[in-house]
Chain A
Amino acid sequence: MEHSEPTEQADGGSALNGHFDRTGKRPVPGGSGCASAAASAGAPQPPRAEPGAPRPVMESWREERTRSVEDNQTSLPSLAAAYTTILRGLGEDPQRQGLLKTPWRAATAMQFFTKGYQEKIIDVLNDAIFDEDHDEMVIVKDIDMFSMCEHHLVPIFGRVHIGYLPNKRVLGLSKLARIVEIYSRRLQVQERLTKQIAVAITEALKPTGVGVVIEATHMCMVMRGVQKMNSKTVTSTMLGVFREDPKTRDEFLALIRS
């Protein structure tokens, strides 16, 4: 579980998304989960060493608590029952051949789309940080990303471009893509996703700077609502020297565009 950063309050107090679990046991449905320390009103707080004090962001990612495979198996029947209700509510016949096993398939699919809650950054990163005397920009671009809009539960997909300036430590390249996977396979808002990726890389490597750009298509805008087929949403987070030095930022943006 990720605790909020103090800066989240400046963003309007939006709670971090995450798997909320007190003791490793399956959360009781109906809001027993803990709220972020940015205090979404009314949500119960988890038992903590310093109740009420927001955790510093630098430590937060090390303490993620995750949904487990057992949790998934336990939740599956209720998820399937919920999907059966949805099918009926939409006017379909859940007993027809094509829909017979749909509740189970849809439930498993949804668990897959939120599997980011099952994974910890620390497991993914621990081995692959290397000391290297390299201080030029490293970019991994066009990382395909699939996420779920937390407002409509409809897919978001696009590409992520990540750049960082190492400060004596480099990261295995695929780990950048794995960080994207962990945070994108959740109920997300694109702005938050971009920031979470940037912050995770910053905390892991302590580089001189990090830049993350995401361009994505939101099915909630394309398939419904305003129905604009070709629209794309672009968000970016620039930290460290990428934020402070316009030339570094320009170099990064030029290289991801090419």
Chain B
Amino acid sequence: MECRHAPEVNGGVDRNLTVCKHYSLCKEKKETKDNVEAKEVSKVETAYSSILSELGEDVDREGLLRTPLRAAKAMQFLTKGYKETTQDVLNDAIFDENHEEIVIVKDIELFSLCEHHLVPFFGKAHIAYLPNKKVVGLSKLARIVEIYSRRLQVQERLTKQIASAISEALEPAGVAVVIEAAHMCMVMRGVQKINASTVTSVMLGKFHDDPTTRKEFLNLTMRK
């Protein structure tokens, strides 16, 4: 059973728990993580089977025989960010370093799912921060992007979540995150604009207050 006493913003259930943390309050039965996952995959698989037949396809033809299972597992993978927390990823890799200049990791590939249409959007994230005596392992910035992008998302919220996560973990003098992405929900359907790309940004701390810092970041990052 899922314990729903502590829903996240987008997410819902913390499935890392094997024991409900409100055990004394809710009498839900303990289940192993694997059992819960297997049940969920099975429900999603049945739903996909129903989708295929409602679309008018022949669910027994060779190419579609195992598609519900594959699609369910694919969807689970594409939303694996719900099971991961910034804590797990960052805890070891924060180092004391006497560096106060801008650190940028740019062109981080990003793949996410539009929460409105369940269709991918993908692009690049550029992250910068001004360390305040603490620096973070560079790949951890990319891992933070992964955690938040592998969810049902809205690009604005994704940008903000990444910026907030870095801000909370490092307490830097400033954080800037820019995401440029193409949304398949706009490209493949609806208005069908193939070359349109959406850019969102969040500037915190010095990047927000000081235009020169912001300009330096944008010059170093957005230059083609």
- Stretch with Cβ within 8 A of B (4 or more), from A55-63, A106-114, A132-140, A231-239: A106-114
Q: Once bound together, how far apart are the Cα atoms of A82 and B46, in whole Å?
A: 8
Q: How big is chain A's contact interface, by range?
A: 35 or more
Q: Which residue of the partner chain A has the closest CB to B58?
A: A33
Q: Are A31 and B48 in contact (CB-based, < 8 A)?
A: no
Contact stretch, chosen from A143-151, A165-173, A199-207, A248-256? A143-151
- B190: shortest Cβ distance to chain A, in Å? 8
A213 interface residue (CB < 8 Å to B): no
Residues of chain A with a CB closer than 8 A to B48's CB: 82, 86, 153
Known: A155-B120, A155-B188. A86 touches B47 (CB 8 A): yes
Closest chain B residue to A117, Cβ basis:
B56
A29 B10 Cβ-Cβ under 8 A: no
Q: Which residues of chain A are near B137, meaning CB under 8 Å?
A: none
Interface residues of A in 1-50 (CB under 8 A from B): 13-15, 17-21, 27, 29-31, 33-36, 40, 42-43
B116→A105 contact, CB < 8 A = yes
Which residue of B11, B51, B53, B185 contacts A91 across the interface (Cβ within 8 Å)?
A: B11
A67 CB–B CB distance under 8 Å: yes
Q: Which of B13, B57, B115 has the most CB of A within 10 A?
A: B57
The answer to whether B61 touches A79, judged by C-beta atoms less than 8 angstroms apart, is no
Q: In the complex, what residues of B have CB within 8 A of residue A111's CB? A: 55
Q: Are A43 and B60 also in contact (CB < 8 A) when A90-B76, A223-B120 are?
A: yes
| 0/1 string, B99-127, CB within 8 A of A gives 1 | 00000000001010001111110100000
**Residue pair A155, B184 in contact (C-beta under 8 Å):** yes
Q: Does B94 contact A (CB under 8 A)?
A: no
Contacts of B52 in A (CB 8 A): 187
- CB pair B47–A31 under 8 Å, yes or no, is no
Complex contacts, B115 vs chain A, CB 8 Å: 98-99, 102
A222 CB-CB contact with B under 8 Å:
yes
By beta carbon, the residue of chain B nearest A101 is B116
Residues from chain A with a CB closer than 8 A to the CB of B111 are 222-223
Chain A residues whose CB sits within 8 angstroms of the CB of B117 once the complex forms: 102, 105-106, 109
Cβ-defined contact, A113 with B47, below 8 A: no
Binary flags per residue of B158-193, CB closer than 8 Å to A gives 1, else 0: 000000000000000000000000001101110000
**Separation of A223 and B15 alpha carbons in the complex (Å):** 23
Decide: B41 and A92 in contact? CB cutoff 8 A: no
- CB-nearest residue of chain A relative to B82? A91
In the complex, whether A212 has a CB less than 8 A from a CB of chain B is: no
Query: How far, in whole Å, are A250 and B53 apart by their CA atoms in the complex?
Result: 43
Cross-interface CB contact of B119 among A33, A92, A150, A155, cutoff 8 Å: A155
A–B Cβ pairs within 8 angstroms, 19 of them: A20-B56, A31-B59, A31-B60, A34-B58, A79-B54, A87-B152, A90-B40, A92-B11, A102-B118, A102-B152, A109-B118, A114-B55, A114-B57, A146-B184, A151-B70, A152-B70, A157-B184, A187-B52, A224-B78
What is the interface of chain A, defined by CB distance below 8 A to chain B?
13-15, 17-21, 27, 29-31, 33-36, 40, 42-43, 67, 71, 75, 78-79, 81-83, 85-93, 96, 98-99, 101-102, 105-106, 109-114, 117, 144, 146, 150-155, 157, 187, 189, 219-220, 222-224, 229
Q: A15-B58, A27-B53, A223-B122 are in contact. List 13 more A-B contacts (CB 8 A).
A: A17-B57, A33-B58, A81-B50, A83-B51, A86-B47, A91-B79, A99-B115, A105-B117, A109-B118, A144-B194, A153-B67, A153-B74, A223-B120
